[in-house]
Structure formats: C-alpha cells, structure tokens
Structure 1
Amino acid sequence: MTQSSDFFIHFWGVRGSIAVPGKETVRYGGNTSCIEMRVGGKRLIFDGGTGLRVLGKSMLKQMPVEAHMFFSHSHWDHIQGFPFFVPAFIPGNCFHIYGAIAPNGATMQKRLSDQMHDPNFPVPMQIMKSDLKFTDLMVGDVIDLDGIRIETGPLNHPNSAIGYRVTYNGKTVVYATDTEHYPDRIDEDLVYLARDADILIYDACYTDEEYHDPKAPKIGWGHSTWQEALKVVDAARVKKAVMFHHDPNHDDDMLDQIEADVRSVFPNSLLAREGMILPVD
C-alpha cells in the first residue's frame, strides 16, 4: 500500500444508507460513500457522504486545493457530508462539481443547495467561499481532464444514478455504486462500463440470501449482492473487484465472513475498508 503511484484510490467512506459509528464497525468503518482518486497529479472525489468530512479535514494541511467532485446521485448518504466539507468554505480553493440532472429536472447544484436551506440546515451553500464550478452531465458524457478520460454510464437505481469509468495511462477504475442487478439478465450497460477494468468498485450491499429473504426481501431497493457483482466481473473481464456500500446492519464480523466467501470464489477481490489505499498499477 503506497501513495507513490500516480494513480491510487483512497476510501474515505464505504457504508451505505446511513452512517454507523461504533465498536461493531471499527475495522470497516461507519462513514457513508466517499472515495478519492489521485490520478496524474489531479484529485478526483466520488460522492460526498459523511466520509467527505474526514477527507476535508485531511485537506486542511494542503491549502489551497483544487479537486473534481463527481456525484453518482443525490440520495442523502451520498451528499450529507457536503455541508461539513470545510475546504469548500475557504477562499482560494476550487472545486469542479459534476452530476447528472435528476429525472425531475433538478441540477446537482440545486440538490446540494436544497439540503442546506432552512429548515434543514442553518448555513446556506452561498456561505461557501471557495470557487464552486458546477457542470451538468448527461448519461453517456465523456470528460477529459488533461489525459484522464472519465466515461459515464447509467445505473439501475430509484430516481436514477450514474457510474464512472476513469482511465489514465492504460489503467482503468470503475465506480458503480447504488445499482441493482436485473433478475433475468446481466446489465449490459454496466458490463460495458466495466469492460477490462483493472478495478471495479461495486455496490454489494446485500448477500443473495438477504436480497431474496421471503420475510424481508430487498428486491427493488436499488442495491445488489456480491454474488451478482462476480457475474459482472466475469462478463466484463475485470481484474480486481472491490465490494462497496456495505449495509449498515453488517458488523465487522459479518463483513469478514462475506469477504472470505467472496474470495473463495474470486481470489482477487476484497471488501472496501475506510482508510484503505489501493494503488492502480
């Protein structure tokens, strides 16, 4: 594990739905979705769950900072860290913020702003003194950042979500959280997004048993399982799989068992842990 690579991933929040701090989540972490990719000297941030607050604290030693922030969607566990992202309040910093327009027409700028309006929050987004530059995306858009190619693709999630494929110097990482597999076929859009990827970060919130539990099924909730993740891995010829967006009810011991089960089928896989750094090399 090293930060000397010119392409690495830092996991700041790996949990789904709601933050779950406590003694039962110490090893994997309790913060919600936020990962950082350092790519060719640039800083890319994906989603702004409560893990974004921790990332922001680490940035305070590096002022001024510039980063590109990509949101998969605006459910609370992916944006609730943004009001507590301290670098956004500091003049001289610059954040390029990307997100797809919601089905109701709301931009990412509006959705981030709305969560900070009265009576939801005491401080409006306009108080943020950094330079916030918003870009609206359409699914299928491609962004080029000085040789870093970022492709977008649709995910199967209530109210819609977007996945990202980051390629630099022939290496590719795909971030596909908050997506549900289809019951009768593989998601070809996702397979295409993940094609030949070096690392696939995938929403494996549930096990198959939980997903199909006759007493409390999770069908239609917008999330997937590690078993379905490995079908995508196989179809897309992915080299390494990282299971992400852990269910808040999964404690460390259960996640240890899930990781063992996943690795027994596909050894080059692991579960995301808060604080984990993966080089892409």
Structure 2
Amino acid sequence: MPIIKEKFTIRFWGVRGSIACPGQSTVRYGGNTSCVEMRVGNHRLIFDGGTGLRVLGQTLLAEMPVTAHMFFTHSHWDHIQGFPFFVPAFVPGNQFTIYGAIAPNGSTIEQRLNDQMLHPNFPVPLQIMGADLEFKDIEAGETVMVGDDVRVESALLNHPGEAIGYRVNWEGHAAAYITDTEHFPDYLDENVLWLARNADVMIYDATYTNEEYYSERSSKVGWGHSTWQEAVKIAKAANVKQLVIFHHDPLHDDNFMDQIKENTARQFPGSIVAWEGLEIDLLAKTAVVS
C-alpha cells in the first residue's frame, strides 16, 4: 500500500526487551524484540532494530523501492540484532537514513552496527548492503527534521551505557517513544516528562512490575528499566492521551501480560499493552490489528 499524505500511524513489529522469546506462551503478545514503525505524513520512520525489524523487512519487499528514516535509542543487542537480517537494506535502490547518538566510549551508531556484522559474529559485513545507507550522529536533546513537516525531538534517558528517547511531532499530533529508561525513586524524570508532554500516544518501557523491581530476593534496581506503575504516573503527570506499555520482560507470558493489561487499564483507562501487529491510528484515534 503506498504512503498517503494524511497519515499518522504506529505499527508494532517487536515489543519485547532483553531477548527474543518465541513460543507457545507468548503467541498473543509476540516474542520479537523492539521495533516500531511510524507512518507520518508521507514519511516512514522506524524506531530500533530488534528482531522485529526482520519481520518488517519482509513486508517492505512488496513496497520497494523503500525510503525510511531509522532512529536507534541505543545499541544493546535487543535493539540492533535484527539489522543484519533487514533484507531491504541489501537491495539497491532503497534509501535509509540512520540516526543514533555517539556512545560513551566514542563509537558511532555506524561503527556499532558495523561491528556486530564482523567475523566471527556474522558471515557478511555491513558493506555488502546494497541500499543507500546514510548515517547521522545526533546528540540527546537535538531535534531532527524529517522533510519539512515532521519534527523528531530527543532526550537522554536513564539507562546503563545511555539511551535516548524520541518524540515525533506532526500537524499538532505527537507520539513519544520512551525506552529503555529507569525511573527515579523520589521524583519523575524531567526528560521523560518533556518527551511525553500532552502526547497523543506515549510508548513506555514497563519491563517490570513494582514487585519485581523492588524484590528483596532479586532486585531490578539499576538494571535500566521501569514498571507499569511508573508508566501510569508519567502518563497522568504529562497529560498523555493514550499510554502504551512496551518492552515486555521475556519471562512474562501471555497470561502475565493479560494481568498487566487489566491492572494498567484500571489505573489509566484506555491504556494498551503492546502486541505484535498492533496498529494505532492517531488521526482516527483507534487501535486495530492488521
């Protein structure tokens, strides 16, 4: 289907964190790691390249030539491991502009995507990709314009090794993509509040429950992720219209996710727990499976 002008949709291709977890117990919500596609105006934006990117790539083969802007939050495995299997990147005539922040060790997003495809980790190097790949280094807090009408804002998140969150603005509408980030115990993160401010949709890292996060037996404090309870606090404080729970722990099966869905909806009506195939239309204000 060709991209049309009046469009702002969000499609979820991978919703898990840490590691892919396909299997009978994760069929309904999906087992692929982070990848979210936004179709905004006449532009295609892709956020993160976890294993869900491979699935997205297969669907794009029917739409070539493809032009897209790819935004990486950081380069932990669950956010980049689908990139070497992204078939459209190997096809001449396709164009991808790839954005990411320089890591604390000084490496660029191009270097990190390149390094994961070097021997002995992968059979072919990044340079074999035949599409036109343009890499752009950005800094947290920088704003990127996609065309003349889409403004992508960024901010630093609280995550080991650093990560950045994004906010996509178009024609008075906004969607915030906020993963991976850990909340602070005594106050709400100002960067997160700023990204989420009055957003139509906030996609938020809720890997854990409060019980898991503060567990005396196996605490997750310092691991770089948040909870659905904190997601609700942020959504209310930032006046978010719709909250989407994202970056699910691989240990959380479908039944566990159903419980999170019920609990979140009680505290923030209209909230959604993301599943693979979920599509949200910001203009129609609907969520559908496609």
- TM-score class, shorter-chain normalisation, is over 0.9
Q: Give the Cα separation in 2 of the matches to 1:151 and 1:266.
A: 25
Match of 2:236, SS state, is: helix
**1:125-144, aligned counterparts within 5 Å?**
125-144=126-145
Match of 2:233, SS state, is: helix
TM superposition score normalised by structure 2? 0.95
Shift of 1:184: 1.3
Q: Give the Cα separation in 2 of the matches to 1:80 and 1:275.
A: 20
Q: Give the Cα separation in 1 of the matches to 2:214 and 2:197.
A: 28
Q: Give the Cα separation in 1 of the matches to 2:201 and 2:38.
A: 12
Segment of structure 1 superposing worse, 226-235 or 66-75: 226-235
Match of 1:31, SS state, is: coil
The residue type paired with residue 97 of structure 2 is: H
Match of 1:173, SS state, is: strand
TM superposition score normalised by structure 1? 0.98
Q: Give the Cα separation in 1 of the matches to 2:149 and 2:113.
A: 29
Q: Give the Cα separation in 1 of the matches to 2:142 and 2:191.
A: 14
Q: Give the Cα separation in 2 of the matches to 1:242 and 1:36.
A: 14
Q: What does residue 257 of structure 1 align with?
A: 259
Q: What does residue 39 of structure 1 align with?
A: 40
Q: Give the Cα separation in 1 of the matches to 2:130 and 2:112.
A: 18
Q: What does residue 170 of structure 1 align with?
A: 172
Q: What does residue 95 of structure 1 align with?
A: 96
Q: What does residue 86 of structure 2 align with?
A: 85
Q: What does residue 237 of structure 1 align with?
A: 239
Q: Give the Cα separation in 1 of the matches to 2:65 and 2:267.
A: 45
Match of 1:233, SS state, is: helix
Q: Is 1:22 aligned to residue 15 of structure 2? A: no
Shift of 1:177: 0.8
Shift of 1:235: 1.2
The residue type paired with residue 27 of structure 1 is: R
Q: Give the Cα separation in 1 of the matches to 2:74 and 2:45.
A: 16
Match of 1:57, SS state, is: helix
Shift of 1:268: 1.7
Stretches of structure 1 that go unaligned for 5 or more consecutive residues are none
Shift of 1:130: 0.4
Q: Give the Cα separation in 2 of the matches to 1:270 and 1:59.
A: 26
The residue type paired with residue 142 of structure 2 is: D
**1:1-281, aligned counterparts within 5 Å?**
6-145=7-146, 146-281=148-283
The residue type paired with residue 231 of structure 1 is: K
Match of 1:95, SS state, is: strand
Match of 1:113, SS state, is: helix
Shift of 1:224: 0.2
Q: Give the Cα separation in 1 of the matches to 2:173 and 2:110.
A: 31
Stretches of structure 2 that go unaligned for 5 or more consecutive residues are 284-290
The residue type paired with residue 11 of structure 1 is: F
Structure of greater relative contact order (alpha carbons < 8 Å, 6+ residues apart): 1
> Would you identify which runs of 4 or more consecutive aligned residues in structure 1 move more than 2 Å?
none
Q: What does residue 287 of structure 2 align with?
A: none
Q: Give the Cα separation in 1 of the matches to 2:236 and 2:252.
A: 26
Shift of 1:189: 1.2
Shift of 1:185: 1.1
Q: Give the Cα separation in 2 of the matches to 1:232 and 1:258.
A: 17
The residue type paired with residue 92 of structure 1 is: G
Q: Give the Cα separation in 2 of the matches to 1:129 and 1:238.
A: 41
Q: Give the Cα separation in 1 of the matches to 2:159 and 2:237.
A: 21
